[in-house]
Amino acid sequence: MTVIEVTGRVNERGQLEFEPPHDLPPGEVRIIFKTITAEEEAADEALWDEKFAKSQELLEQMAQQAHEEYLAGLTEDFRLG
């Protein structure tokens, strides 16, 4: 089984809004809707904020390394399409 997560929101009129995924494999799918309370969403956001705050130094080191590799000509252009 392959898990495909589709996220969205319910607008003020009670209508579901989401961006459907592209390039799905053929076959049956099972769609399950789960509501998230404002409190659950706030707790999730707080957790991610905490994780990102703790990772700032590592992210800066990785950015510096990538910049040095770019200056040394060790990178390639990334282009879609």
CB 4 within 8 A of CB 18: no
How confident is the model at residue 75, as a pLDDT? 92
pLDDT band at 22 (very low <50, low <70, confident <90, very high): confident
User: What are the tens digits of pLDDT across the range 23-79?
Assistant: 787 888 787 778 888 899 899 999 999 998 889 889 999 999 999 999 999 999 888
Residue ranges of E strands in the chain? 8-10, 16-18
Classify residue 14 as left (phi > 0), alpha (psi -120 to 50) or beta.
Answer: left
> Is the pLDDT at 9 greater than 90, yes or no?
no
pTM: 0.42
What does the domain layout of the chain look like in residue ranges?
Answer: 8-71
